[in-house]
């Protein structure tokens, strides 16, 4: 794999459409009533741990949570951890909000716009773990600059994640996997933790599976699961 590439600058949002099919009546009601109570105002965040009603032991961040399967499973499995979920797609947000209401989940807070806005204002070393799972690959070369992973986004994540914390990335698009490895390796902040092939070919032990993963496997694509550790001392 060639590691030398020109640095890129994000010129447009990393996501595409904001809305799909019309929301069902209950979803629309939950979206209108619950999201305003859980929505994060980037300008008002001084300490992410204070976003939650009870004391939390750590704060984890998921960027582009899609239908919310992974975020929901993590929040239920880790009730003492606060979760921030970013997702601009209205239908995915509405689906998760319905689950939050039904299950009375209190350790999730949400941001429904470009995650880069939030990454730029969250306090330094305030996040213990970040997830980017099956992001839009923007496969056409002219659209590559719209991929979420960039030198800029990794710099921001390196600022937010505490030394020793982790960044997890999953994709079924080989080119995007290589793209991410290149940028993480040259960041001077993240260390890829894999020791052998099984470390990136098998999902994490706490991985609940997602509809995107299931679709990739049905269509014959093999996912990769990358874990990067935030180095104690950046190079």
Active-site residue, from 29, 41, 117, 136 = 136
For residue 123, which of 40, 14, 2 has the smallest C-alpha distance?
Answer: 40
Q: What SS3 class is residue 211? A: helix
For residue 125, which of 9, 7, 232, 17 has the smallest C-alpha distance?
Answer: 232
Q: Is the dihedral of CA 157, 160, 162, 166 positive or negative?
A: negative
58-63 and 81-86 strand pairing: parallel
Query: What is the side-by-side order of every strand in the sheet holding 161-171?
Result: 108-111, 81-86, 58-63, 127-133, 161-171, 224-230, 190-192
Torsion angle (degrees, nearest 10) of CA 211, 86, 127, 104: -80
Give Cα separations from 173 to 24, 124, 149, 210 (angstroms): 32, 31, 13, 15
For the chain, the straight-line distance linking the first and the last C-alpha, in angstroms and rounded, comes to 22
174 catalytic residue (yes or no) = no
Catalytic center residues: 136
């Amino acid at each position: 794999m060639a590691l030398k590439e020109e640095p890129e600058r994000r010129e447009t949002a990393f996501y595409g459409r904001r809305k799909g099919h019309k929301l069902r009546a209950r979803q629309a009601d939950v979206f209108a009533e619950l999201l305003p109570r859980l929505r994060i105002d980037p300008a008002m965040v001084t300490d992410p741990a204070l976003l939650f009603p009870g004391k939390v032991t750590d704060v984890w961040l998921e960027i582009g949570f899609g239908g919310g399967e992974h975020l929901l499973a993590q929040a239920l499995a880790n009730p003492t951890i606060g979760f921030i979920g970013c997702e601009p797609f209205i239908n995915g947000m509405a689906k998760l909000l319905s689950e939050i209401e039904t299950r009375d989940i209190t350790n999730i807070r949400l941001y429904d716009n470009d995650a880069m806005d939030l990454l730029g204002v969250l306090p330094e070393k305030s996040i213990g773990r970040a997830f980017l799972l099956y992001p839009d690959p923007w496969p056409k070369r002219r659209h590559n600059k719209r991929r979420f992973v960039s030198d800029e986004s990794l710099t921001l994540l390196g600022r937010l994640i505490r030394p020793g914390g982790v960044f997890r990335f999953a994709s079924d698009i080989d080119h995007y996997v290589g793209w991410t490895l290149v940028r993480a390796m040259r960041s001077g902040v993240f260390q890829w933790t894999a020791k052998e092939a099984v470390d990136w070919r098998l999902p994490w032990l706490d991985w609940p599976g997602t509809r995107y993963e299931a679709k990739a496997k049905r269509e014959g694509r093999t996912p990769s699961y990358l874990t990067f550790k935030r180095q104690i001392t950046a190079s």
